[in-house]
Amino acid sequence: MIIVLFGKPGAGKGTQAPLLAAALGVPTLATGDELRAAIRSGSALGLEAKAYMDRGDLVPDAVILGIIKQALSEPRAAKGVLLDGVVRTVPQAEGLAAVCADLGTQVDAVLCFDIDDDEIVRRLASRTICDTCQHPRGDAEPGDPCVQPGCPGKLVRRKDDEPEAIRNRLDVYRRQTAPVLQWYRTHGTKVATIDAVGSVEEVTARALSALAP
Ligand code: AMP
């Protein structure tokens, strides 16, 4: 089972991904988390990605497709994977389809979390994430401890949550990412739109019911 979580930055994909993955019994792949981990480790991948990410631009498709290919080939992905933050361009959709075809699988559904720009700007301006496990919070201050069980991390602001980067990310979404939905529709993949405004539990329930047969 391969599910693509889709939507504007700040739509709640990162909050919903672990909840949906637990309910569906598959792991998550969050390319943003992978890239931030690469930056922290000082790897060549991290060095290449950092400037793009700080500006709110997309990291080149070849880099993302390398991450996807490796993750989908791992044994932990044998039953499928929930993709959080992939697919963000039409070439990524094409590349993912090719990787899936090689592995004898396919994207089963795209869940599009729907939310308007004003709500996004409000959410991202008050978002913090854990510097260790990356879990996002909307109701805490930088420096507060992470509340995920057993995590020793502390909350920080993301550089790409600054107002200028947020504006750029929304613009990038409209120009490069939004056309991906039409690509999936024309290729016969189920696309379900989920109202992303509501409590975390409400949005999880809407997403799971959209996936029900
Ligand atoms: P996220 O944590 O999903 O908001 O991603 C943070 C940043 O990582 C994005 O603004 C991009 O710079 C980069 N990124 C993450 N996933 C992708 C992707 N699939 N394609 C291109 N860039 C990505």
**13 a catalytic residue:** yes
> Catalytic annotation on 175?
no
Tell me the average pLDDT across 25-39: 94
**Could you tell me if residue 35 is inside a domain?**
yes
For ligand 1, pick from 8, 53, 172, 177 the residue to mutate: most ligand atoms within 8 Å of CB.
53
Q: Of residues 36, 88, 123, 206, which has the active-site annotation?
A: 88
Highest mean pLDDT out of 49-53, 55-59, 116-120, 205-209: 205-209
Centre of ligand 1 from the C-alpha of residue 213, in Å: 30
Using alpha carbons only, give the angle 78, 84, 87 rounded to the nearest 5 degrees: 95
Tens-place pLDDT, residues 146-194: 999 999 999 999 988 888 889 899 999 999 999 999 999 999 999 999 9
Q: Which of 8, 36, 123, 127 is catalytic?
A: 127
pLDDT tops 90 at residue 55: no
Given a contact cutoff of 8 angstroms between Cβ atoms, the answer to whether 95 and 83 are in contact is no
Task: List the CATH number of the domain containing 48.
Answer: 3.40.50.300
pLDDT digits (tens, 9 = 90+) for 59-118: 999 999 999 999 999 999 999 999 999 999 999 999 999 999 999 999 999 999 999 999
Q: What is the pLDDT of residues 127-139, one digit of tens each?
A: 999 999 999 998 8
Q: Per the domain annotation, does 124 fall within a domain? A: no
> Which pairing describes strands 81-84 and 2-7: parallel, antiparallel, or unpaired?
parallel
C-alpha span between 182 and 194 (Å, rounded): 16
| 85 is a domain residue | yes
- pLDDT score recorded for residue 125: 86
Q: Is residue 95 domain-resident?
A: yes
Residues 23-31, mean pLDDT to the nearest whole number:
96
Provide the number of structural domains found in the chain.
Answer: 1
Q: How many helices (H) and strands (E) would you count in the chain?
A: 9, 8
Q: Is there a domain that residue 132 lies in?
A: no
pLDDT tier for residue 37 given thresholds of 50, 70 and 90: very high
Structural domain includes residue 171: no
Please name the residue that has the structure tokens 């909307």: 138
Helices (H), the chain: 13-24, 31-41, 44-55, 61-73, 90-103, 117-125, 163-172, 179-186, 200-211
Q: Provide the residue range defining the domain that includes 88.
A: 2-115+177-211
Residue 141 lies in a domain: no
Structure tokens at 83: 């993709």
